[in-house]
Amino acid sequence: MAKLYFHYAAMNAGKSTLLLQAAHNYRERGMRPLLYTCAAYSGGQPGVISSRLGIAEPADLYDDPDDLFTRIRDENETSKVDCVFLDEVQCLTRQHVWQLARVADRLNIPVMCYGLRTDFLGHPFVGSAELLAIADTLREIRTICECGAKATMVVRRDQHGRVQTEGSTVEPEKADYISLCRKHWEEAFGRWPVKGP
């Protein structure tokens, strides 16, 4: 049986690089992978999954109203799909995650999801939380904080280097994100993110 996988990490851990490498391995063996990425990060341009190492591949875009199960099923009926890869899965809705679970369960196609677990405010993304709840296999991809400890959080800085403590959690430009361990994230954020008891 195929599985639903969630590979998660903070920024700069190499998620997109691993995705592109795995998709290349499928193609090298004469198999057909489908690649998807979030439309919210595309800036109105065609879909591309790119790595900070400089490699990139075209990808189909997904957005909130999409039915991913139907799209993938239709692709599979046209020509056999051997694996589905999705980047920036923090953008997925709860419905998308269940649609992807159906792809694995009913179409028997492995689904490999790559994305962030939490936003710069320290809150779980909706899609990531749903994947953490129902994915068959979870894999943390590690990166390090400036102190050398495992980075699990990200902060977003403005053009003056100030840490932002509010704003949209989905921004097309990702260059101002920095991965930190929880201790240094809390220090950079300047306050405890949870209010009340």
pLDDT-above-90 percentage for the chain: 69
* Whole-number pLDDT of residue 105: 98
* Whole-number pLDDT of residue 162: 81
Report residue 193's pLDDT band, with 50, 70 and 90 as the boundaries: low
* Whole-number pLDDT of residue 171: 63
Asked if the model's pLDDT at residue 153 lies above 70, the reply is yes
Q: How far apart are CA 22 and CA 47, in angstroms?
A: 18
> What is the tens place of the pLDDT at every residue in 115-151?
999 988 888 999 999 999 999 999 999 999 999 999 9
Give a three-class secondary structure readout of the chain.
Answer: CCCEEEEEECCCCCHHHHHHHHHHHHHHCCCCEEEEEEHHHCCCCCCEEECCCCCEEECEEECCCCCHHHHHHHHHHHCCCCEEEECCHHHCCHHHHHHHHHHHHHCCCCEEEEEECECCCCCECHHHHHHHHHCCEEEECCCECCCCCECCEEEEECCCCCECCCCCCCCCCCCCEEEECHHHHHHHHCCCCCCCC
Asked if the model's pLDDT at residue 106 lies above 60, the reply is yes
Question: Token digits for 130?
Answer: 């749903």
Write down the domain spans for the chain: 4-142
Q: How far apart are CA 90 and CA 41, in angstroms?
A: 11
> What is the tens place of the pLDDT at every residue in 36-73?
999 988 877 899 999 888 899 999 999 999 999 999 99
* Whole-number pLDDT of residue 42: 81
Mean pLDDT of the region 152-160:
85
Question: Token digits for 69?
Answer: 């199960």
* Whole-number pLDDT of residue 121: 87
Tokens 């495992």 -> residue:
150
Asked if the model's pLDDT at residue 173 lies above 60, the reply is no
* Whole-number pLDDT of residue 147: 93
**CATH fold of 4-142:** Rossmann fold (3.40.50)
Q: Catalytic site residues?
A: 88
Asked if the model's pLDDT at residue 164 lies above 90, the reply is no
Question: Token digits for 44?
Answer: 């109105």
